[in-house]
């Protein structure tokens, strides 16, 4: 499931180009082809025709294409969505295509999604879609003190971290990774964390996200389903395997309905 690092990588790919795939900034949209109408959650996509892409931004797990008018295309990739650029001649051969935006330079921006959970919105006010989101964990304003101010209630710390109202873009994978790096048991009550532990958690969140972005840029495409023993993660999908830090067998349980993996020795 794409989380902040993977979505950020898609944003950079569209804005700057990565791995030989050109950027869409500066290109004009000439044809909008809605292959699967179910992907459109709100707005009229034909409003994009004739508009030039001037910027690509990310908020949590959302990607926004800004045009030279007020209209914006906001995309949520959900579990299996992706946005990539192909030659227009190859646009018909891509698999699981839900939306195609043909550009004036002979290329096509394609939204693919095998499981059809992703969706798009066309709006003049993208911020209205993000009203309930918490702070961005990689922003300068996201300090340890800012994190501490949002860690309220008696929920398990893992459940708190994956609440998008607390930290935007942090999901199951990187919450587990951050808690492992910080040495915090994911089942602990949020209120039980000390100031020192919150500082360690804040640092760990940023470290695992920056590391995830670096890894995602190398891979370009991610397929979590195929990651087994070769997983780049310390705990995610490694239940029953030895902890890479101490060798203890990693434990697992469900927290907030999500599979959660931790080390009983390192995360007491």
Instruction: Please tell me the number of Cα atoms within 13 Å of 156 on its side-chain side.
Output: 17
| CA–CA separation, 208 and 181 (whole Å) | 8
DSSP state of 149: H
Distance CA 153, CA 53 (A): 43
Structure tokens at 242: 């030895």
Q: For residue 229, what are the CA distances in angstroms to 12, 34, 69, 215?
A: 29, 39, 48, 16
Per-residue pLDDT of the chain (268 residues; tens, 9 = 90+): 689 999 999 999 999 887 667 899 999 999 999 999 999 999 999 999 999 999 999 999 999 999 999 999 999 999 899 998 999 988 888 889 999 999 999 999 999 999 999 999 999 999 999 999 999 999 999 999 999 999 988 999 999 999 999 999 999 999 999 999 999 999 999 999 999 999 999 999 999 999 999 888 877 544 434 444 356 799 999 999 999 999 999 999 999 999 999 999 999 8
What per-residue confidence (pLDDT) applies to 220? Answer: 56
Q: Which two tokens stand for residue 136?
A: 């961005």
Q: Is the pTM of this model over 0.85?
A: yes
Task: Catalogue the active-site residues.
Answer: 2-3, 61, 258
CATH number of the 4-130 domain: 3.20.190.10
Give pLDDT, residue 9. Answer: 92
Phi, psi of 25 (to 5 degrees): -60, 130
- Same topology, domains 4-130 and 144-262? Answer is no
**DSSP helix/strand/coil, 208:** helix
Instruction: Kindly report the CATH number that applies to the domain delimited by 144-262.
Output: 1.10.8.50
Domain boundaries defined on the chain: 4-130, 144-262
CA 205/CA 200 separation, integer angstroms: 9
What's the residue count for the chain? 268
Buried b (16+ CB within 10 A) or exposed e, 185-213: bbbbebeebeeeebbbbbebbeebbebbb
């Amino acid at each position: 499931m794409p989380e902040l690092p993977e979505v950020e990588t898609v944003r950079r790919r569209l804005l700057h180009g990565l791995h030989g795939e050109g950027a869409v900034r500066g290109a004009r949209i000439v044809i909008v082809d809605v292959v699967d109408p179910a992907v459109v959650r709100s707005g009229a996509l034909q409003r994009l025709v004739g508009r030039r892409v001037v910027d690509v931004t990310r908020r949590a797990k959302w990607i926004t294409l800004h045009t030279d008018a007020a209209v914006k295309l906001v995309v949520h990739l959900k579990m299996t969505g992706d946005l990539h650029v192909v030659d227009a001649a190859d646009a018909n051969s891509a698999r699981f295509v839900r939306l195609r935006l043909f550009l004036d330079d002979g290329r096509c921006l394609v939204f693919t999604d095998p499981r059809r959970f992703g969706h798009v919105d066309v709006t003049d006010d993208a911020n209205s879609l993000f009203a309930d989101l918490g702070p961005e964990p990689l922003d300068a304003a996201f300090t340890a003190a800012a994190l501490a101010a949002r860690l309220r209630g008696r929920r398990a710390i893992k459940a708190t971290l994956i609440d998008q109202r607390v930290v935007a873009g942090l999901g199951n994978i990187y919450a587990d990774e951050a808690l492992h790096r910080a040495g915090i048991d994911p089942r602990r009550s949020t209120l039980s964390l000390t100031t020192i532990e919150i500082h360690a958690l804040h640092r760990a969140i940023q470290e695992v996200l920056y590391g995830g972005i670096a890894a995602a840029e190398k891979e370009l495409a991610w397929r979590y389903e195929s990651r087994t023993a070769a997983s780049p993660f310390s705990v995610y999908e490694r239940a029953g395997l030895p902890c890479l830090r101490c060798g203890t067998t990693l434990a697992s349980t469900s927290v907030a309905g999500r599979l959660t993996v931790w080390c009983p020795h390192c995360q007491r």
